[in-house]
Amino acid sequence: MARSQTPARKGEPLGDFTENIVDIDVTSEMEGSFLEYAYSVIYSRALPDARDGLKPVQRRILYMMSDMGLRPDRGHVKSARVVGEVMGKLHPHGDTAIYDAMVRMAQDFSLRLPLIDGHGNFGSLDDGPAAPRYTEARLAAAALTMTDHLDEDVVDFVPNYDNQLTQPDVLPAAFPNLLVNGTTGIAVGMATNMPPHNLVEVIAAARHLIANPGATLEEIMRFIPGPDLPTGGRIVGLDGVRDAYATGRGSFKTRAKVEVEQLSARRTGLVVTELPYMVGPEKVIEKIKDAVNSKKLTGISDVVDLTDRNHGLRLVIELKNGFNPNAVLQQLYRYSPMEDSFGINNVTLVDGQPQTLGLLQLLQVYVEHRLNVVRRRTSFRLGKKKDRLHLVEGLLIAIVDIDEVIQIIRSSDEASAARERLMSIYDLTEIQANYILELRLRQLTKYSRLELEKEQDELRREIEALEAILASDELLRDLVSGELAVIAEKYGTPRRTVLLESEAVSPTVAAALAASVPGPKGKAAALPLEIPDDPCWALLSVSGQIARTSNQEPLAEAGPRTKHDVFRSVVKTTARGEIGAVTSQGRMLRLQVMDMPVLPPVSGLPNLAGGVPAKDFITLLKGETLVAFVPLDAVLAIGTVQGVVKRVQPDYPLNREDWEIIALKDKDLVLAVEPAQDDNVDLVFVTRQAQLLRFSASNVRPQGRTAGGMAGIKLAAGDEVIHFGTVRADDPAAVVVTIAGTNGALPGTAPGTAKVTAFEEYPAKGRATGGVRVHRFLKGEDTLLMAWAGHGPAKASSAAGVARALPHEHGRRDGSGVPLSQPVEAIGPSMAWAEAAE
């Protein structure tokens, strides 16, 4: 031992002293110190207890908040106050560790059933929480079930770090918190990582295990098919989940919930509404931008975060035109956190020892803990009831002769003498005698024999019930199971995470994969990133809906229809091609076909209700409407309301998106546009006053796009053109359809009469003449409501979308029509003519 010496002043030599240096083995010292440190980290910090699913710091926070009375029906208190109480009384570590654990228990995106009700900024997946002096907290309603009945000797209490206070060794835990909320932690030489599960499913499995102690893992997994993550998402592939449930170790893939949406008429996007567990939107945006900048991701034009409190997560990934959304989504899964892997490692403390447990073992440990808690609670309550019954029985003995009891007490010199006399005279126990001595005189007015006998009977019934529970394992299990059922009903919520046995493939994706080139060495084929330049149809309906098909199958009429199924224009093109759109004011706009919404592949007639309105896709002027889709490489025939006709050459400017193709007079409008490449077609006008003019296209020479056209049909005063079209002169199946009605009636409000006549019945006339009569009006009819000429047979469509054939009358061309049973909104040919429209 070194002798105590007065320290030498600076610069002076030290005095004489004795040294005692002890040689130790560094290896042994390091081993011992490291093992002690490792055990401390494993047992006191990082790993949860398998019974209540809590780490020591979490357990101490909940216990201290319960002890402080921070219940859900009371106000919040500063988080700093809670942290200070926990740190000063139970957890002698840094305040940061305590606050971090407290914050996690308040985050609804971290825990499936949060245990703390936080007020203020408790952080997000991308940002940390505010300082504890700014936030407030109290216990959540579910946390009360974790700490209930602590005053009934349900668990053991152990001393705190300085042996001045006590704390519970484990919480009663009225629900399987470890499975419901999961956990994560890194110890020395081991780590734990457990996903959250659905409360209703876990409790259902626990109740099944309580009723059937010999249940197998397969039976348990019928109730718990997989994790249920707080942020939802999708789990793809369940083999890793099954391995983890069997052995305690495994992994699974989580994916974001993504929908392909039409953001605008021209722009498609991927909308993310759920992300993988513990992945924030800012992290996803950052990774996507990095991948785009490094050329790993293509086809993405922008990423916008539209998340708010009212609508939740909404991450919009805008795509460039011409890219396959499903192929871009596959790239996003590969190069961004929109697909993440979760490794399950069920390492927990069982009897103070770290063990890796499967699902069945975890439930067994919890059920055994809960049975023990309820058994101890029942024993405690039984003891309390018996003690009270003992006192009531003593009171019943004394109250019979209460005046004598009072006289005995008054005549005794001291309490001990009065106690002895009461015990000897009335045969009372010391506890009963003391209780009588402690009664105040005013309390004697409350007691009557009937009331005490009623309480005695009730206590005996309760004692009998408690003893039955302790004597019967079946009753004990029924009680625990019933309490779990109440918890599930009160706090249970529907499942949020979708479980997929394998990657779900939509029919569109499946068809694209089937058509794609197989990957090398048997690997799965990848979707083509860019939209291939496949043949397709560009469609325009009479109601102004536009779309394109995914292929160029014949548009044969079949299946259900809607009012959008009556096509005004059908143009054969390719997915990456261009077509023209002609408006009522004589403008032509250049359209990219791949910008149009794609209709799902169907056999037969596509449903144009899946398209978009033309006004949302094309910028139209005030009062302007879309008339037709046309190819850009064909001579076009244009007809106007005032009877002007024009054939225009396809010499369109290459550096402009819109231009004029006819110079219109005042109040004149383009009525229809049809391809008229050769001269072997007839141009047909039908007017509102039932006049039809047919003449050869050779009579109209092609003009430049700035010309104003020439006279087509001579109109009478007040008359106007209601139909213009082209018909092949040698088509024997061509027909003319007219529907007559009343001038004042709105179209589609009155049935009217319909007439179908063979086109060959009408002779060709010279251009700029008045034509011939096409329909004889009946009484009450004074105008044509609709007219159409072309390849038959003809069909009519009502507001309900029902297509039906019109009656054919191949008699006199100027005869009257056949009455219709109900009004129609549009007329047109069978869709089988689309192939011939090439």
| Residues classed as catalytic | 134
Alpha helices in 212-312 (DSSP H): 217-223, 239-247, 281-293
Q: Is-contact 674 725, C-beta < 8 A?
A: yes
**CA dist list (Å): 452 to 192, 247, 387, 389, 461:** 57, 59, 15, 10, 14
**CA dist list (Å): 460 to 475, 476, 608:** 18, 19, 78
Q: Is-contact 548 533, C-beta < 8 A?
A: no
**CA dist list (Å): 372 to 28, 171, 470:** 41, 12, 11
- What lies within 8 Å, CB to CB, of 221 at 6+ separation is 242, 245, 359
Q: What are phi and psi of 273, to 5 degrees?
A: -115, -15
Q: Give the whole-angstrom CA distance, residue 695 versus residue 685.
A: 9
Report the b/e string of 740-777 with b at 16+ CB within 10 A: bbeeeeeebebebbbbbbbbbbbeeeebeebbbebbbb
Tally of residues, the chain: 838
Alpha helices in 445-534 (DSSP H): 449-471, 473-491, 507-515
Which residue is it, tokens 């006053």?
689
Which residue is it, tokens 């919404």?
597
| Burial zone of 735 (CB within 10 Å; 0-12 exposed, 13-18 middle, 19+ buried) | buried
Of 693, 683, 671, 668, nearest to 770 by C-alpha is 693
Structure token pair of residue 823? 């009004």
Which residue is it, tokens 């945006």?
285
Which residue is it, tokens 């261009």?
578
Q: Give the whole-angstrom CA distance, residue 225 versus residue 562.
A: 42
Q: Is-contact 589 618, C-beta < 8 A?
A: yes
Q: What are phi and psi of 89, to 5 degrees?
A: -105, -35
Pairing of strands 636-640, 670-675: antiparallel
Q: Give the whole-angstrom CA distance, residue 566 versus residue 547.
A: 13
Helix, strand, or coil (residue 168): strand
Q: Is-contact 363 369, C-beta < 8 A?
A: no
Per residue, what are the HEC states of 11-50? CCCCCCCCCCCCCCCHHHHHHHHHHHHHHHHHHHHHCCEC
Q: Give the whole-angstrom CA distance, residue 739 versus residue 702.
A: 32
Q: H/E element holding 737?
A: strand 734-741
Given 3-state DSSP classes, what are the helix, strand and coil percentages for the chain, each rounded to the nearest 5? 35, 25, 40
Q: H/E element holding 572?
A: strand 567-574
Q: What are phi and psi of 557, to 5 degrees?
A: -75, 120
- What lies within 8 Å, CB to CB, of 265 at 6+ separation is 595, 597, 612, 613, 616, 617, 618
Alpha helices in 552-592 (DSSP H): none
